[in-house]
Chains A and B, each alone.
Chain A
Amino acid sequence: METLFGIAVDGVAYGMILFIISVGLSVTLGLMRVVNLAHGAFAMVGGYVASYAAQGLGLPYPAAIAVAVVLTVVATLPMEKLLYRRIYGSANELQQVLLTIGLTFVIVAGINYIFGPTLKRVPLPDMLVGVVELGPKAIPAHRAFVIAVGAAILLGLWWLLERTDFGIRLRAAVDDPAMAAALGIRTERLYAATFAIGTGLAALGGVLGAELLPLEPYYAIRYIVLFLAVVAVGGAGSIFGSAAAALALGIVDTAGKYLIPNFGEFFFYAALILILFRWPHGFFHGRAA
């Protein structure tokens, strides 16, 4: 019983990290129809900035997170304007893949050049070090924090897209860009804002997940498959889908590693295959995809 609970908690924590990073990808893919393979690189940039802010400049943890998110968004917005804007829409997927994978390589090389190939850490504040007793199982305080943040993001995003003026306009702009523009909705601005949200979430996930997905220059290439898997299973554009997919994959992976350690990632991919076999478009048919 205790073991089951332990696996569940660890699985949820892992799933939440996957969710925080992947949901931005799901939003940009589902709402703007861009296959953004550089998403993992944005998460990595966020992690590196936070690491430098905390270790190099001595900023406290919350400030380091804020700096990482803001700087990553500021750095990537010009890319949206100069590069991404040319490849929106589902007509040119090959261009999207080529451009974004190229961008990933550039970022990997840049990070490697600036920060070197060694591992970087984001030091945790004392509050998040140590363990929280959850009934029979002690879990790291940091993971409890991650689970809480993930839940908050889930609700916040849902509220933003379903319940606000911004969300209504965005959905309109996605469903029929020409009509929305004719009605005076500034689609370009909406896209830029959505892109910024996606990038910011990637950066946040990169920082929070640094304990689980260690920061090194090849992070961008190493984990993008995981993020894409979450989006594929969840259904592009669906926030609850991303959450359900990330949690399901996180728990399956954790349970598999516990039961048969040397099977490695077999269970993760087996689950992926089975789910996609049953639901080819993911759990939740994305609104726009």
Chain B
Amino acid sequence: MRGYLRGALLATAFGAAFGLACGAAGGAAWAATVKVGVVAPFSGPFAMVGKTFKEAIAVYQAEHGKEVAGTTVEFVFKDLDQANPAQSKALSQELVVKEKVGFLAGYFFTPDALAVAPLIDEANIPCVIFNAATSAITEKSPRYVRTSFTLWQNTVPLAEHMARQGIRKVVTAVSDYGPGIDGETAFKTTFEKAGGQVVDSIRMPLKSTDFAPFMQRIRDSGAEAIYAFLPAGPTTLAFVKAFNDNGLKDRGIKFFGPGDLTQEPDLPALGDAALGLTTTFNYSQAHDSEKNRRFLARHKELFGSSDTVTFTSVGAYDGVEVIYRMIEKAGGKVGPGKMDGAKAVESIKGLSWESPRGPVAIDPDSRHVTQTIYLRVVEKEGGRLINKEVAAFPNQPDYGYKAGK
């Protein structure tokens, strides 16, 4: 570990020195181009996420062109295959120093996004988060903007909905890390305020693959329903299957959770086990709007299929929207030394636009996206499983911003 860290430090120092040498030799960056550095997983278990980011960026650029306010926008990708804050910071630093990026973007996992707070403050550049969903992130630097969602944002409407359904006893089961704890806290606070009772709170290790013991515990708790959150990926599948296979579904225990559990790329693998799962989320591929249909059609045209379009796609798509608007407001005067990052973020506060997910706006305080959260049920349509939106809760802010303060 130590050797590795030393290696990383050396590499960073080396990269910095190399970058400085290049900068000195090459003079200023090319005037009419601005680079955007994207840090995300492009290999490893979460490679799907990086792919959706890349594709959404391509779709946006196909629709809006690569130029805005006389400046060409160029994306530079760095691969961060799993949550690793030290590596995240090193890669971001490399992007700032060596590639001279005007913006940082991407970040799938919370720890990776948090790690760059001091860096973006020092370099004074904006960082547009495409995904990482713990509320606390945007509190750590005024230069963060986020276009995804937070656990609080998805959970509060869900807990209220469950209380309205007359559900009284619920057990929460979440992955034991930042967003999971956020989800648990958000649910408990909201649900108990509405008069419900959380009979047991289970925190499951991120690496769990066998969920039978947790299912036994859920059965023993005597709850009528569960609120479950696991990050989208390999584990959600095993969790949902375990829920069905251990007879919890047959006992009539209802299953609720944020939409990460039923994201579109995983639905075929979940199969009929997913039917009837009720989730709240900011985006469903099946969202019924002209903008979304155009977005999907363009995606299909570019990549041959739109099956994998999911929440990370719109997070990135709208993230690029925000970056383009910042460049526009700055009149094309962007890039290192030409733009004040804090001012750039200031310039898009309150900005609102139409996204494939519906109407969205950047909240001036939290710099997080205010959006409609949809209640969805997994159904079969034309032989495919979809997240059918059955109700909408408009203008949901991030309830978790400075919640504990």
Q: Is the CB of A262 within 8 A of B45?
A: no
Q: Is the CB of B247 within 8 A of A261?
A: no
Residues from chain A with Cβ under 8 Å of B47 in the complex: 112, 117
The digit string for B232-251, where 1 denotes a CB below 8 A from any CB of A, is 00110110010001110010
Q: Is the CB of A218 within 8 A of B271?
A: no
Q: How many residues of B contact A (CB 8 A)?
A: 35
Residue of A nearest to B216 (CB): A6
Whole-angstrom CA separation of A140 from B241 in the bound complex: 10
Residue of A nearest to B248 (CB): A138
B48: interface (CB < 8 Å): yes
Q: Is the CB of A119 within 8 A of B245?
A: no
Smallest CB separation, B265 vs chain A (Å): 6
Q: Which of B191-238 contact A (CB under 8 A)?
A: 202-205, 207-210, 212-214, 216-217, 219-220, 234-235, 237-238
Q: Is the CB of A10 within 8 A of B212?
A: yes
Residues from chain B with Cβ under 8 Å of A216 in the complex: 45, 234
A281: interface (CB < 8 Å): no
Stretch at the interface among A29-37, A180-188, A250-258: A250-258
Q: Is the CB of B213 within 8 A of A7?
A: yes
Residues from chain A with Cβ under 8 Å of B43 in the complex: 112, 117
B321: interface (CB < 8 Å): no
Residues from chain B with Cβ under 8 Å of A198 in the complex: none
Q: Is the CB of A257 within 8 A of B208?
A: yes
Smallest CB separation, A249 vs chain B (Å): 12
Residues from chain A with Cβ under 8 Å of B241 in the complex: 211
Q: Is the CB of A212 within 8 A of B238?
A: yes
Q: Is the CB of B213 within 8 A of A10?
A: yes
The digit string for A259-289, where 1 denotes a CB below 8 A from any CB of B, is 0011111000000000000000000000000
Asked if A14 meets B212 with Cβ closer than 8 Å, knowing A117-B44, A131-B250, A211-B241, the reply is yes
Q: Is the CB of A264 within 8 A of B234?
A: no
Asked if A140 meets B176 with Cβ closer than 8 Å, knowing A119-B237, A212-B209, the reply is no
Residue of B nearest to A264 (CB): B205
Q: Is the CB of A7 within 8 A of B269?
A: no
Smallest CB separation, A11 vs chain B (Å): 8
Smallest CB separation, B109 vs chain A (Å): 16
A13: interface (CB < 8 Å): yes
Residues from chain A with Cβ under 8 Å of B46 in the complex: 117
Q: Is the CB of A218 within 8 A of B216?
A: no
Whole-angstrom CA separation of A254 from B210 in the bound complex: 8
Partner of A262, one of B44, B176, B209, B271: B176
Whole-angstrom CA separation of A198 from B235 in the bound complex: 28
A97: interface (CB < 8 Å): no
Whole-angstrom CA separation of A253 from B214 in the bound complex: 12
Smallest CB separation, A64 vs chain B (Å): 16
Residues from chain B with Cβ under 8 Å of A254 in the complex: 210, 212-213
Smallest CB separation, B363 vs chain A (Å): 32
Residue of B nearest to A213 (CB): B209
Q: Which of B81-117 contact A (CB under 8 A)?
A: none
Whole-angstrom CA separation of A217 from B44 in the bound complex: 8
Q: Is the CB of A257 within 8 A of B214?
A: yes
Q: List 23 A-B contacts (CB under 8 A).
A: A6-B216, A7-B216, A10-B210, A10-B212, A117-B47, A119-B234, A119-B266, A131-B245, A138-B250, A140-B246, A142-B245, A212-B210, A212-B238, A214-B238, A216-B234, A253-B210, A254-B210, A255-B213, A257-B204, A257-B208, A257-B214, A264-B207, A264-B208
- A residues contacting B by CB (< 8 A) are 3, 6-7, 10, 13-14, 112, 117-121, 123, 131, 138-140, 142-143, 211-214, 216-218, 253-255, 257-258, 261-265
